[in-house]
């Protein structure tokens, strides 16, 4: 019977990043996903690496800053391993922060109207604005590159089958069970996002937090070299994310709606109108599609990272709005933990033990 050092439950951006990182450190790894990898929150995500956002949880500030710094190298490595480009865009963010908020990073600077116009001539919004040295990626392409890199490195995958139980014998983990199979491993990591609670003998207290997004594209027959705007644009109510293939994403709602992933026409219209208010030329663009994803929220809004009370059972989930941004750092610190090394960060505030 084949055995692995680590079974990872869930092939979203966190599970995939961790699988790749563990494999680099020499561990044998199996990823088990209830469907195809990265079809849930990762597929729906905008992909802003928003390490300067004043709305980020203060308790996460150091980790967010470190993960943001890791991104260019993380993407460069992935490109080399997978020969795929996750559309890393490094033009930066133009942000209109809320009252009393100011950017939380080095290199951010306040913009006068003249410079704002020079940087992004199509922005019609005026007021207190900042340039922030952030980047963005296309999370779907990122996940595709991560999966390809992981497979090339020798990570195994089982898809279309949900892990329902972490198997235990003599008080420690022996593997993971799906409805039909058992996968033997010394360690199991719950990376199941909004589904992380659905596990025996116990899950992690995540809940789905719905986000609806809209994608607009240039009208047929309009050919431009790049997207309408170069920068990510963020206001307190909306973000606008350009992709190099000229799509523009508009997001996102934050809804407590259980596992519902329906998109409603009113919300699509509201997001479209809000974007037109910021960049009037978006009115000329065509709504291409809209979707909803389920972010993994946690009771205190912080990720759930580390060992549980059951020897061999770990969690890396609950990243809420920050899964894409925190993926490289999560993979690094979880690899350190699983390898029995002290992580570079104090992980106590994120320990699963705070809930168990
Ligand atoms: N990270 C963006 C969002 O959650 O909407």
Label residue 73 by pLDDT band (50, 70, 90). very high
223 pLDDT above the threshold of 80: no
For all residues of the chain together, what is the average pLDDT?
96
Q: Looking at ligand 1, which residue's alpha carbon is closest to its atom 1?
A: 321
- Cα→Cα distances 313→39, 59, 110, 168, 352, Å: 24, 24, 46, 9, 10
C-beta of 321 in contact with ligand 1 (< 6 A): yes
Query: Does position 220 have pLDDT exceeding 90, yes or no?
Result: no
Q: What is the CA(237)–ligand 1 centre distance, in A? A: 11
23 lines ligand 1 (CB under 6 A): no
Residue 60: predicted pLDDT: 95
CA 252 to ligand 1 centroid distance, Å:
7
Query: Which are the contacts of 265, defined by CB distance < 8 A and separation ≥ 6?
Result: none
- From start to end of the chain, where are the E strands? 3-9, 29-33, 48-49, 93-95, 109-111, 129-132, 135-136, 156-159, 163-169, 172-178, 182-190, 207-217, 232-234, 239-242, 248-251, 286-297, 304-307, 313-317
Place of tokens 């992981």: 150
Instruction: Classify domain 3-81+139-206+299-355 at the CATH topology level.
Output: FAD/NAD(P)-binding domain (3.50.50)
Atom 5, ligand 1: which residue's CA is nearest?
Answer: 252
Average of pLDDT values for 2-7? 98
Regarding the beta carbon of 49 and ligand 1, being less than 6 Å apart is answered: no
* Phi (first) and psi of residue 29, to 5 degrees: -135, 135
Mean pLDDT calculated for residue range 282-299: 97
- Write down the pLDDT at residue 24: 98
pLDDT in tens, 138-182: 999 999 999 999 999 999 999 999 999 999 999 999 999 999 999
CB 210 within 8 A of CB 257: yes
- List the residue whose alpha carbon is closest to atom 2 of ligand 1: 321
Q: Does position 42 have pLDDT exceeding 90, yes or no?
A: yes
Rounded to whole angstroms, the Cα distance separating 45 from 261 reads: 13
Question: Is the CB of residue 295 below 6 angstroms from any atom belonging to ligand 1?
Answer: yes
The number of the ligand 1 atom at minimal distance from the alpha carbon of 251 is: 5
User: With 90 as the cut, is the pLDDT of residue 216 above it?
Assistant: yes
| Nearest atom, ligand 1, residue 323 CA | 1
Determine the Cα–Cα distance for residues 313 and 296; give it in Å rounded to an integer. Answer: 19
Ligand 1 binding pocket includes 46 (Cβ within 6 Å): yes
CATH of 93-133+208-297, one of 1.10.1060.10, 3.20.20.140, 3.30.9.10, 3.40.50.10740: 3.30.9.10
Decide the pairing of beta strands 239-242 and 93-95: unpaired
Number of neighbours of residue 120 by Cβ within 10 angstroms: 21
297/224: higher pLDDT: 297
pLDDT tens profile 78-120 = 999 999 999 999 999 999 999 889 887 999 999 999 999 999 9
From the CA of 46, how far away is ligand 1's center (Å)?
Answer: 6
Residue 234: CB within 6 Å of ligand 1? no
CB of 211 within 6 A of ligand 1: the answer is yes
Query: Best of 211, 213, 235 to mutate for ligand 1, by most ligand atoms within 8 A of CB?
Result: 211
Intervals of CATH 3.30.9.10 along the chain: 93-133+208-297
Pocket flag, ligand 1, residue 92 (CB < 6 Å): no
Rounded Cα–Cα distance for residues 115 and 120 (Å): 8
Report the SS3 class of residue 2. Answer: coil
User: pLDDT per residue over 330-356, tens digit each?
Assistant: 999 999 999 999 998 899 999 999 997
Q: Where in the chain is the domain with CATH 3.50.50.60?
A: 3-81+139-206+299-355
Say what percent of the chain tops pLDDT 70.
100
Q: Is the CB of 293 under 6 A from ligand 1?
A: no
Residue among 49, 239, 249 whose CB has most ligand 1 atoms within 8 A, to mutate: 239
Question: Distance from the CA of 3 to the center of ligand 1, in angstroms?
Answer: 37
Whether the full predicted model's pTM is greater than 0.75, yes or no, is: yes
251 touches ligand 1 (CB under 6 Å): yes
87 Cβ contact partners less than 8 Å away, ≥ 6 residues apart: 136, 137, 138, 141, 243, 244, 245
What pLDDT sits at residue 58? 94
Collapsed DSSP state (helix, strand, coil) of residue 289: strand
Helices (H), 205-356: 265-278, 323-338
Considering only CA atoms, which residue is closest to atom 4 of ligand 1? 321
């Amino acid at each position: 019977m084949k055995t692995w050092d680590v079974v990872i439950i869930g092939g979203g951006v966190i599970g995939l990043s961790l699988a790749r990182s563990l494999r680099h450190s020499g561990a044998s790894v199996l990823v088990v996903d209830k469907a195809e990898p990265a079809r849930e929150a990762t597929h729906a995500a905008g992909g802003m690496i928003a390490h300067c956002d004043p709305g980020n949880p203060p308790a996460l500030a150091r980790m967010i800053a470190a993960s943001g710094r890791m991104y260019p190298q993380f993407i460069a490595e992935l490109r080399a391993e997978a020969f795929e480009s996750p559309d890393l865009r490094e033009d930066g963010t133009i942000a209109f922060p809320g009252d009393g908020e100011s950017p939380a990073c080095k290199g951010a600077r306040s913009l006068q109207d003249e410079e704002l116009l020079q940087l992004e001539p199509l922005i019609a919004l005026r007021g207190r604005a900042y340039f922030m040295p952030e980047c963005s990626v296309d999370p779907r392409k990122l996940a595709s590159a991560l999966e390809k890199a992981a497979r090339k490195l020798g990570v195994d995958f089982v898809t279309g089958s949900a892990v329902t139980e972490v198997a235990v014998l003599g008080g420690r983990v022996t593997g993971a069970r799906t409805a039909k199979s058992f996968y033997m491993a010394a360690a199991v990591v719950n990376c199941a996002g909004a589904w992380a609670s659905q596990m025996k003998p116990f899950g992690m207290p995540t809940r789905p937090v719905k986000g609806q997004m809209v994608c607009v594209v240039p009208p047929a027959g309009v050919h431009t070299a790049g997207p309408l705007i170069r920068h990510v644009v963020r206001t307190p109510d909306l973000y606008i994310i350009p992709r190099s293939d000229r799509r523009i994403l508009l997001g996102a709602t934050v809804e407590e709606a259980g596992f519902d992933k329906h998109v409603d026409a009113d919300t699509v219209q509201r997001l479209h109108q809000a974007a037109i208010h910021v960049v009037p030329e978006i009115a000329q663009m065509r709504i291409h599609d809209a979707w909803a994803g389920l972010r993994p929220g946690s009771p205190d809004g912080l990720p759930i990272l580390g060992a549980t009370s059951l020897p061999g059972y770990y969690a890396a989930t609950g990243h809420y709005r920050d899964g894409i941004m925190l993926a490289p750092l999560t993979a690094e610190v979880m690899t350190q933990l699983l390898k029995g090394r002290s992580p570079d960060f104090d992980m106590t505030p994120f320990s699963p033990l705070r809930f168990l």
